[in-house]
């Protein structure tokens, strides 16, 4: 395993990882806005993602949940944009009993998140494709942890309200 994501060695424990890095996504630090590359990368990494980030001592989901939780109450619903395997949703549920819904491009990451039983709903959606599948003001809050490097800067997804 290297710092940029899953190894592509077929002998690695992550046998679902692609044989080569997808075109347009050489590393996590570079990011990519190629939706197919992002989906392929995270589908290949879903199985070991949580263990890898734990080994890296990645704290951002916990820190973001701790920062957002005081502004929420139990009946609120939060959208976890780019929820991946559910690290943020699990962290948020440790702080507050709100509902959490997850949205991600990676079907395998969504399946991994579902196994934890934290999210009330899931949506497989490419954030490059607008509009998002929600009505305005459908959520009390939305969180987007480690995702914006994969979104075109001015595609309308990141508008201010």
Give the pLDDT of residue 151.
76
pLDDT of residue 16: 45
Domain spans of the chain, in order of start:
60-150
Q: What is the pTM of this model?
A: 0.78
Q: What is the mean pLDDT of residues 68-86?
A: 97
Q: What are phi and psi of 142, to 5 degrees?
A: -135, 145
pLDDT digit string, tens, across residues 3-39: 333 333 333 333 444 444 444 455 555 678 889 989 9
- pLDDT value of position 155: 58
* DSSP labels, 52-64: HHHHTT--HHHHH
Q: How high is the pLDDT of residue 5?
A: 36
**How far is it, in rounded angstroms, from Cα 74 to Cα 72?**
7
Top-tier CATH class for 60-150: alpha beta
Using alpha carbons, list the distances in angstroms from residue 104 to 10, 44, 52, 133: 26, 14, 19, 12
Mean pLDDT of the region 50-65: 96
pLDDT digits (tens, 9 = 90+) for 89-114: 999 999 999 999 999 999 999 999 99
For the cut 80, the answer to whether the pLDDT of residue 44 exceeds it is yes
CA distances from 81 to 62, 151, 155, 158 (A): 15, 12, 15, 12
**124 Cβ contact partners less than 8 Å away, ≥ 6 residues apart:** 103, 104, 105, 106, 107, 110
The pLDDT tens digits of the residues spanning 115-158 come to 999 999 999 999 989 899 999 999 999 999 988 777 777 555 55
């Amino acid at each position: 395993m290297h710092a940029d994501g899953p190894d592509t060695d077929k002998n690695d424990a992550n046998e679902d990882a692609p044989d080569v890095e997808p075109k347009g996504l050489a590393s996590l630090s570079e990011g990519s806005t190629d939706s197919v590359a992002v989906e392929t990368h995270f589908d290949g990494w879903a199985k070991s993602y949580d263990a890898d980030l734990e080994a890296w001592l990645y704290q951002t989901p916990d820190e973001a949940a701790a920062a957002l939780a005081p502004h929420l109450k139990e009946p609120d619903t939060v959208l976890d944009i780019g929820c991946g395997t559910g690290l943020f949703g699990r962290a948020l549920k440790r702080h507050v009993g709100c509902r959490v819904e997850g949205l991600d491009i990676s079907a395998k990451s969504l399946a991994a998140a579902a196994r934890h039983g934290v999210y009330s709903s899931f949506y497989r959606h490419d954030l490059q494709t607008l509009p998002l599948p929600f009505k305005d003001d459908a959520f009390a809050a939305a969180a987007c942890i480690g995702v914006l490097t994969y979104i075109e800067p001015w595609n309308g997804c990141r508008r201010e309200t």
